[in-house]
Chains A and B, each alone.
Chain A
Amino acid sequence: DVKVTQSSRYLVKRTGEKVFLECVQDMDHENMFWYRQDPGLGLRLIYFSYDVKMKEKGDIPEGYSVSREKKERFSLILESASTNQTSMYLCASRGYQETQYFGPGTRLLVL
């Protein structure tokens, strides 16, 4: 079974802090994705990556950056956290099939 893990289930940060969210997949998938999920807005794509060192902006990249130095790991970075970035963050990976496999999510609270 594909396993996608995220570094934290819950995270509390202060406004202005730099925040790193880590995602690791164990299936040698080429594609990885970061989403945020908010009540009433659904899942929205922040960034995705087709390969190591490749990244593409999704629908809402502002205030975020990403890093993919190794195939199995895709990091989401909040350069200067703000309260409107309080959300549930979900990482997903995809191989040659179209199915996306999601991690358990990180619930981030920015105070």
Chain B
Amino acid sequence: SQKIEQNSEALNIQEGKTATLTCNYTNYSPAYLQWYRQDPGRGPVFLLLIRENEKEKRKERLKVTFDTTLKQSLFHITASQPADSATYLCALSLNSGYSTLTFGKGTMLLVSP
């Protein structure tokens, strides 16, 4: 069956360091992968999308890589700040257009000052 795995344990890092979150999947051939941020008690907010034919995408301090051979995406936050503390969700879609997203369970990131 199709599976998306994100680290269930919280990631604790110090302010200023680079945070790296992992999303692994099995039995998928996704057309694209997305990363969302979710704060407690709130809905997820879209951050970045990367397509199957793209290796890397950047937006300000955020970087996403997508390795379809390893079936893995890495999400990096450089120069992390306490305000980056949140849960980060990855989501896969099998194709564009009328496709639904399947979400991972998310990884909590805690950035301490």
A-B contact count (CB 8 A): 46
Q: How far is the CB of A59 from chain B (nearest CB, A)?
A: 8
Q: Which of A11-19, A76-84, A99-107 contacts B (4 or more CB under 8 A)?
A: A99-107
In the complex, the answer to whether A98 meets B49 with C-beta atoms within 8 Å is yes
B59 shortest CB reach to chain A, Å: 13
CB < 8 Å neighbour of A99 from B34, B42, B100: B34
For A92, list chain B residues within 8 Å (CB): 43
Which of A40, A98, A103: most chain B CB closer than 10 A?
A: A98
Check: A21 CB closer than 8 A to any chain B CB. no
Interchain CA distance A77-B91 in the complex, whole Å: 26
Distance between B60 CB and nearest chain A CB, rounded to angstroms: 17
Measured in the bound complex, the distance between the Cα atoms of B99 and A42 in whole Å is 19
Minimum C-beta distance from B89 to chain A (A): 7
Contact call B46/A42, Cβ cutoff below 8 A: no
Which residue of the partner chain A has the closest CB to B104? A42
> Which 4 A-B pairs give the minimum distances between C-beta atoms?
A102-B43, A42-B105, A43-B103, A99-B46
Q: What would be 13 A-B contacts, judged by CB atoms less than 8 Å apart?
A: A42-B89, A42-B103, A42-B104, A45-B100, A50-B98, A92-B43, A98-B49, A98-B99, A100-B46, A102-B43, A102-B44, A102-B45, A105-B41
